[in-house]
Chain A
Amino acid sequence: MISSKWTPYLFLLPAIVGLGIFSIYPAFQAFFSSLYSFSFVNQTNQFVGLQNYISEFTDPVFWNSVKVTLLFNVVINPLQIVLAFGLAILLNKRVKGIGFFRSIHFIPISVSLPIASVLFMIILNPDEGLVNSVLTSLGFHAQPFLHSSHQALWVIVGIATWKGVGYWAVFLLAGLQEVPSALYEAAALDGANKWTEFIKITFPLMKRSLTFVAVADTVANFLLFAPMYIMTDGGPNNSTDVLMYETIKNAYVNSNMGSADALIVMLIIIILIIIGVESKLLKPKH
């Protein structure tokens, strides 16, 4: 590391001013507001200390949301990262027409989540959807999909993965491109098989890219609420009621800004713990 008195601050200045004004300051406001509650009787904000947090702890809805959020993320994050890594490796192969395949596989990146949600809702409709139409004509039973508390969360995992894998693969593909091919050539001379190559060369050199994708993907999925908002309203029977959806509901439906802010503070603490673990696991050894 290099020490220099003023240089680092000058390089940081524009970003920190921007973040300070447009992210940090509003975020502090949100944090403080988690300690307040709007009194409809006096029409004022009243300081309530940790009351917003305590009332969440005693609310079964909160604990259900914690459970759903963790279940969702325990499945979706590893799934997306593994699939994105696989896709990146596939797209890194120098075969004819790879440019075409890359462009196709990256298409879902530009499908916005609301549009994807609307589209999948039509396709997966239990009575009139295309998927059930195909299933029944092949002799299978029609499925309730988003209308079943056993399936809805996994359907959302599927939709978010359809949309997300290409996106995360871009970052990993860029990382793969930086692995010097000389290393592979040397390994091939030593008679290493593909798997050893992957463990010895690809994976270690990809740790930084993987850390980025793991962290960014985790944050994105913990904050995901558009599919629940558009397709299920957190249902059926609260089976897709993630913390972020509860936050939005508290803020914009139930007029509990203080509770929404408290929920976010807790959600961020959960995210920090998880990405802390992820970065430990993916820490480069050198």
Chain B
Amino acid sequence: MENKKVMGKLVSYLLNIVLVFIVVLPLLFSITSSFRPHEDIFKYISPITWKTFIPTDITFSAYKDIFTESGFGRIFFNTFFVGIVTVALGLLVNSMAAFAFSVFSFRGKKIVFFIVLLTFMVPFEVIAVPLYKVVSSLGFIDSYSALIIPVVANGLVIFLYKQFFDDLPLSIFESARMDGASWWRIYYGIVLPLSKPVTITAGLLIFVGQWESFLWPLLATHSDQYRVIQVAMSTFSQEHATIWNQLFAASNLTIVVPAILLLFLQKYFVNGIANTGVKE
């Protein structure tokens, strides 16, 4: 019995370590390159030597330049700001909708839910022109509103919440109603506190969506003051050259920052409603 446990642990460590290599190795080129002078990027690429992985002239100039020349300070702030506001609004709006779908029966529910599902199957690239017209007529073009408001309501997030709420026993709501609680109170005071894990994942989904968002910010804003990271990174690919070291430096930062965020957030997975036994 003990032996088996030790073996199990060993296997899981081994798997984890193999996975770490699979995840990190492809990124190694980007990490190394970001510390090289621009003309050295491809200098030692083939055949492989130790120089392929270790920069010979280590320089931090790419990191410095993206902040001093390309304004990445502002760009990171914008992306964070847009991401966090969207998460806050999105969690509220979409969990409310999911609450309605999960708890109530009402006329037109099936068709409305079907349409909600359809909304996340329509790729943005195809509705870009009509959406641009709508947003432009609302006067949002080139503002934070343009980046935030159109993506707050999100069919996928509603679906995610609904999958979770469907597991909550109806008896909770019925007894709360008997005690005279309003529906808002039930949603806000009972359901939301029970929903920490799903809220974290939903928040992540919304945040990652904004963090990676490219075409919409490109179309909807044009001033430097609203520039977000994916758009900013694509300016490193110029007509006749790609500024590889800066591109990789920026990309490494866009990877590290959310990873740190996750490091802090992941403890909520463990401390969520695990083992409270609410699930039926």
Contacts and interface: CB of A to CB of B under 8 A. Distances in A.
A and B touch in the complex (CB under 8 A): yes
B230 interface: yes
Contacts of B160: 171, 212, 216
Given A106-B262, A173-B269, A3 B106 contact: yes
Interface stretch (A42-50, A61-69, A109-117): A109-117
Given A107-B255, A110-B211, A119-B26, A22 B131 contact: yes
Interface in B163-181: 163-164, 166-167, 170, 173-174
B273 interface: yes
A4 B173 CA distance: 13
A171 B159 CA distance: 13
A124 to B, nearest CB: 10
A186 interface: no
A113 B153 CA distance: 24
Given A4-B104, A90-B16, A180 B279 contact: yes
B123 A223 contact: yes
Interface in A143-199: 162, 166-167, 170-171, 173-174, 177-182
Given A22-B153, A111-B251, A16 B125 contact: no
B236 to A, nearest CB: 10
- For chain B, the bracket of interface size reads 35 or more
A132 B186 CA distance: 60
Contacts of B247: 115, 118
Interface in B199-255: 200-201, 204, 208, 211-212, 214, 230, 233-234, 247, 251, 254-255
Interface residues of A, number: 94
Contact of B198 (A25, A167, A174, A181): A174
Interface string A243-286: 01001100110000100110010001001100000000000001
B118 interface: yes
B275 interface: yes
B100 A12 contact: yes
Given A99-B263, A112-B254, A22 B134 contact: yes
Contacts of B58: none
Interface string A83-111: 00001001001010001011111111111
Contacts of A171: 160, 201
Contacts of B48: 130, 133-134, 137
Contacts of A162: 22-23, 26
Contact of B99 (A11, A25, A182, A215): A11
B93 interface: yes
B275 A107 contact: no
A2 interface: yes
B27 A119 contact: yes
B144 to A, nearest CB: 15
A123 interface: yes
A132 B48 CA distance: 10
A271 B119 CA distance: 13
Nearest to B279: A178
A11 B275 contact: no
A168 to B, nearest CB: 11
Centre residue among B96, B100, B126, B208 by max chain A CB count within 10 A: B126
Contacts of A15: 93-94, 96-97, 116, 153, 158
B46 A130 contact: yes
Contact of B153 (A14, A25, A261): A14
A75 interface: no
Interface in A200-241: 205, 208-209, 211-212, 215-216, 219, 223
Contacts of B46: 127-130, 132-133
17 contacts: A8-B101, A11-B97, A12-B96, A15-B96, A15-B97, A22-B151, A23-B122, A26-B127, A27-B118, A29-B130, A30-B126, A108-B23, A110-B259, A112-B212, A137-B48, A177-B197, A181-B275
In the A-B complex, list the 3 residue pairs whose CB atoms are closest, starting with the nearest: A18-B153, A15-B97, A1-B105
